Amino acid sequence: MHSPVKSLSRHDTSKRAGRRMANVNTERLTPTGKRQTANKQSNLTKTMPEKTGRRARPFSGNLAANCRLPVVFIIFAPLRKAALLPKAAFLPAPLLSLAKNDAMFNRRFIREKAVQAYFGFCQGGSENALACQKNMLAGLDQTAELYYLQLSFLITLSDYAAQHYEPAIQRGRRQEEELEGMRLMASNKVVEKLRTDSNLSLKSAQYKFSWKDRQQDLTKAVYESLFLSSEGSSIAGRLQSALKETLREKPGMEELSEEEKDFALHKEFLKRLYRKKISTHPVLCSFCEERSLYWEADYEPACFWAYTTLSQMQPEGTAQVDPGWTIDDEVVVFGKTLLEKTLLHQDEYNGYIASHLTNWKPERVGATERVLLGMAVSELLNFPSIPVKVTLNEYIELSKRFCTPESASFVNGVLNQVAQDLQAEKKIKKSGRGLIG
């Protein structure tokens, strides 16, 4: 017997228009009643800072403005682009939760992907509900692949440095500081841990990608810009010199053995070089963004995720890289169920919302707000173990990233009214410790 979700189909005459949203103006009405027109080419003014050296690319918190063919994955809200900062205070909510969670994906990350997939479905980007669900899962797999690809590139870069380190010594034309930077990359102990990591080896074989076979020019470009210099010392050379001074003055270092100190130097060198220079290198960024739409959308999260893995590497252990995700993971099941329930009952949930739009017509509410409100109601009704306040807070945060500044208060007001009425009607039933049924 077929699952009921397969019977839902899209027969919308606006399907073609939805797929071309990257080239048209999208008129939206803010909760304050002001009309806005988001233009993909002219009105999205947030671009990458010039100092990163990356190709300027427009970003917007508006889901519709970022929609492109196929509509399966929407670009994140603007992140800090100058550097992938490790401090939690500077991290967007999805990245902060990734940094604190041992699982590959968590509910906050999955919730965002479900919203994006549902938005694509509503805009005609998916033929039916089953395709919509598959798009979300494909996006997760692509994000995971990019994470492993980033780590494997460090191995390739280390190999390239090893090939050129001895010849550079023999020629005797490089400064000692510059040669030390090459050495730290060529024989990096954290890279060696990555090289022998069973999880990374397994995933590299699974995704069948080799930097050596395909991107020698890319590796060469990154290496020469970081480890070679025509005048003075190289970027890597200056970094290792500064790190040695910093670690020498770090409290507790004197208690470590020489081997532990050496590993700490190698680890900190690779972390900082990756965060500041490798992950933001324009050649690597352009390659990833052009190879996959998913990678363009999730480049920053995958890089921070890789950086977190480097930060957690220890001298002992053979499987320190994340083992990946499966379709049976609790958070993935959560996302699939959330998306399926929303698609199956979207008319019912939209009815709840429409009845609480005081002095508003449903069609006047922006498409992004409708998507967020509909999925929030679905979560309120279908997940007894998630407290009402948690659900409300999560979707208010999503509205801050994907909608106009005024939308958060609008979404907050509507969701609070809907939640109160559904609780009064005994339609919301919560169970578990600390929850009222």
| pLDDT exceeds cutoff 90 at 200 | yes
Numbers of helices and strands, H then E, in the chain: 18, 2
Query: Given this model, what pLDDT does residue 267 score?
Result: 95
Percent pLDDT > 70 in the chain is 73
pLDDT digits (tens, 9 = 90+) for 110-143: 998 999 899 988 887 666 888 899 989 988 999 9
| pLDDT exceeds cutoff 80 at 88 | no
Token pair in block for residue 113 = 């992907």
Q: Residue 167, preceding bond cis, omega within 30 degrees?
A: no
Token pair in block for residue 324 = 């990946």
CATH topology of domain 345-424: N-utilizing Substance Protein B Homolog; Chain A (1.10.940)
Query: Given this model, what pLDDT does residue 209 score?
Result: 81
Average pLDDT over residues 223-238: 88
pLDDT digits (tens, 9 = 90+) for 412-426: 999 999 999 999 999
Q: Report yes or no: 156 and 148 within 8 Å, Cβ to Cβ.
A: no
Mean pLDDT of the chain: 76
Query: Given this model, what pLDDT does residue 125 score?
Result: 65
Query: Given this model, what pLDDT does residue 7 score?
Result: 32
Query: Given this model, what pLDDT does residue 66 score?
Result: 38
> What band does 248 get if pLDDT is binned at 50, 70 and 90?
confident
Q: Whole-structure pTM over 0.85, yes or no?
A: no
| pLDDT exceeds cutoff 80 at 56 | no
> What band does 17 get if pLDDT is binned at 50, 70 and 90?
very low
Highest mean pLDDT among 76-90, 320-334, 359-373: 320-334
Distance CA 345, CA 298 (A): 29
Task: Give the least confident one: 3-7, 208-212, 259-263.
Answer: 3-7
Query: Given this model, what pLDDT does residue 106 score?
Result: 84
Task: Give the least confident one: 35-44, 142-151, 238-247, 388-397.
Answer: 35-44
Q: What is the DSSP letter of 175?
A: -
Query: Given this model, what pLDDT does residue 70 score?
Result: 36
Query: Given this model, what pLDDT does residue 210 score?
Result: 78
Q: From residue 292, how far is each of 147, 239, 270 by CA, in Å?
A: 13, 32, 26
Average pLDDT over residues 174-201: 92
Query: Given this model, what pLDDT does residue 394 score?
Result: 95
Q: Report yes or no: 42 and 25 within 8 Å, Cβ to Cβ.
A: no
Q: Residue 70, preceding bond cis, omega within 30 degrees?
A: yes
> What band does 65 get if pLDDT is binned at 50, 70 and 90?
very low
Q: Where, residue-wise, is CATH 1.10.940.10 in the chain? A: 345-424
Backbone angles phi, psi at 292, to 5 degrees: -155, 135
Query: Given this model, what pLDDT does residue 362 score?
Result: 67
Distance CA 372, CA 349 (A): 11
- The end-to-end CA distance of the chain, in Å, is 33
Backbone angles phi, psi at 47, to 5 degrees: -125, 170
Average pLDDT over residues 57-67: 38
Task: Give the least confident one: 121-125, 204-208, 315-319.
Answer: 121-125
| pLDDT exceeds cutoff 50 at 214 | yes
Task: Give the least confident one: 61-75, 199-213, 216-230, 394-408.
Answer: 61-75
| Higher local confidence (pLDDT), 289 or 297 | 289
| pLDDT exceeds cutoff 90 at 371 | yes
Give 305: exposed, middle or buried? Use CB within 10 Å, 0-12, 13-18, 19+: buried
Task: Give the least confident one: 25-29, 159-163, 402-406, 431-435.
Answer: 25-29
| pLDDT exceeds cutoff 90 at 226 | yes
Task: Give the least confident one: 64-68, 179-183, 318-322, 354-358.
Answer: 64-68
Question: What is the sign of the dihedral through the CA atoms of 83, 87, 92 and 96?
Answer: positive
Distance CA 95, CA 414 (A): 27
Query: Given this model, what pLDDT does residue 25 score?
Result: 33
Percent pLDDT > 90 in the chain is 44
